[in-house]
């Protein structure tokens, strides 16, 4: 009775090839990211959240975008603020706006020469 009923469930009508293709499509984000440095993270996201459509899309976008962050693309610019925009606290080293008499991070009074 139950066995004959199972034949009416679409799940059992699909060909094994269909399941292989589905499996490949499900792990497509991890497959695309197989050579990426963050492959493990993408694979984990793919497995844990891939069954949700959104999670799968995020993993796919992540896999496709992760190789665009090349060192060549980022110009080697030291994070120096523009001259006059801010100075660094003499006590804690945090950047403070020009004209501030006291550090916004630690509250230390700033010497007049830096204002």
Positions touching Zn ion (CB under 5 A) are 89, 91-92, 103, 105-106, 108
Report, in Å, the least distance between residue 91 CB and Zn ion. Answer: 4
CB of 85 to Zn ion, least distance (A): 17
Q: Which is nearer to Zn ion, 28 or 108 (CB)?
A: 108
Query: How many C-beta neighbours within 10 Å does residue 21 have?
Result: 12
Least Å from the CB of residue 106 to Zn ion: 3
Between 46 and 110, whose beta carbon lies closer to Zn ion? 110
Hey, is 36 helix, strand or coil? coil
Provide the greatest CA pair distance for the chain.
91
| Residue closer to Zn ion, measured from CB, 16 or 99 | 99
CA distance 115 to 102: 10
Partners of 95 in beta bridges: 88
């Amino acid at each position: 009775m139950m066995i004959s009923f199972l034949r009416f469930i679409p799940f059992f009508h699909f060909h094994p090839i269909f399941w292989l293709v589905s499996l490949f499509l499900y792990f497509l984000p991890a497959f695309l990211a197989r050579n990426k440095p963050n492959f493990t993270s993408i694979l984990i996201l793919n497995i844990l959240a891939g069954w949700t459509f959104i999670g799968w899309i995020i993993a796919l976008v992540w896999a496709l975008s992760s190789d665009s962050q090349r060192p060549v693309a980022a110009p080697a610019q030291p994070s120096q603020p523009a001259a006059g925009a801010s100075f660094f606290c003499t006590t804690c080293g945090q950047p403070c706006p020009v004209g501030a008499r006291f550090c916004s991070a630690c509250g230390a009074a700033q010497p007049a020469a830096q204002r």
